[in-house]
Amino acid sequence: MAVLALLATWTPVRAQTLVADLSSHLIAITTGFTGTDVVLFGAIDQPGDVAVVIEGPETSQTVRRKDRMAGIWINNETLKFSHVPGFYGVASNKPLDALLPPAVAQRHEIGLDHVRMLPRADVDAATVTEFRAALIRNKQREGLYGTEVGEVVFLGQRLFRTSISFPANVPIGLYTVSVYLIRDQDVVGAQTTPLAVSKIGFSADIFDFAQHNGLVYGLLGVLLAVGAGWLAGSVFRKG
């Protein structure tokens, strides 16, 4: 009787609508690191569209506006933002504005226009918009925010892939790679995959030493710079 009751209440687990994974879950930064690419691949249960968002560790960022006063440029106004991704990229198989209405994209933070960055001061909306745009431009110049939407390529109607490029100055920390399945201009499935960016080897040892012994590291840097200058001067005098 117990077995019959269990069978009567049992229902099959619904198959996943979206499955995705990365070619590597670790980006190892060594002394000669010049950047790398990570491939994301996946499959969907039925035809649909896919958007991928890659976010690096969140930080606080201060944006400074310079004004010319008495013939020189000085920092005249600043605004600090919290919850700023250290790295941000997005890819999709169609233009984002054709996939999702702004409200849905805002809810899932899909696209640079919809990334949540919170100002740490009570200022008017126009000032927030101006400083936020400057922050994004600065990140794009550093290669940490994508200037264009990457391409998700479908292999048939179910399989897809995309390539994520990381520059040499990519911040270390834990990243999230979120994949969204979209149908009828709404997100109907999602999966988040972790990605770690970490220093290894000799560069990691130096980084750890600098983090835990900041004063000693600074003094050693000064001594090395003085020593290199003295050595170079000696060589040129002999020449």
Do residues 133 and 239 both lie within one domain?
A: no
Do residues 146 and 184 both lie within one domain?
A: yes
Do residues 83 and 93 both lie within one domain?
A: yes
In a domain, 19, yes or no: yes
Phi, psi of 98 (to 5 degrees): -90, -20
The pLDDT value recorded for residue 174 is 95
The pLDDT value recorded for residue 227 is 54
The pLDDT value recorded for residue 72 is 64
**pLDDT values of the chain reduced to their tens digit, one per residue, 239 residues:** 443 343 343 333 345 789 999 999 999 998 889 999 999 999 999 999 999 999 999 999 999 887 666 556 566 788 999 999 999 999 999 999 999 999 999 999 999 999 989 898 888 999 999 999 999 999 999 999 999 999 999 998 899 999 999 999 999 999 999 999 999 999 999 999 999 999 885 444 444 544 555 555 455 455 555 655 555 555 455 55
The pLDDT value recorded for residue 12 is 39
Do residues 147 and 212 both lie within one domain?
A: no
Do residues 115 and 156 both lie within one domain?
A: yes
Do residues 24 and 141 both lie within one domain?
A: yes
In a domain, 89, yes or no: yes
In a domain, 218, yes or no: yes
In a domain, 219, yes or no: yes
In a domain, 76, yes or no: yes
In a domain, 6, yes or no: no
CB 207 within 8 A of CB 31: no
In a domain, 1, yes or no: no
Do residues 230 and 120 both lie within one domain?
A: no
CB 97 within 8 A of CB 106: no
Q: Residue 212 sits in which domain range?
A: 201-239
Q: pTM to 2 decimals?
A: 0.75
Do residues 193 and 215 both lie within one domain?
A: no
Q: Quote the number of domains for the chain.
A: 2
Do residues 51 and 88 both lie within one domain?
A: yes
Strands 88-92 and 150-151 turn out to be parallel
Do residues 107 and 126 both lie within one domain?
A: yes
Q: How far apart are CA 180 and CA 155, in angstroms?
A: 17
CATH code where residue 121 lies? 2.60.40.1930
**100 vs 121, 149, 209, CA distance in Å?**
31, 14, 46
Do residues 102 and 146 both lie within one domain?
A: yes
Do residues 155 and 224 both lie within one domain?
A: no
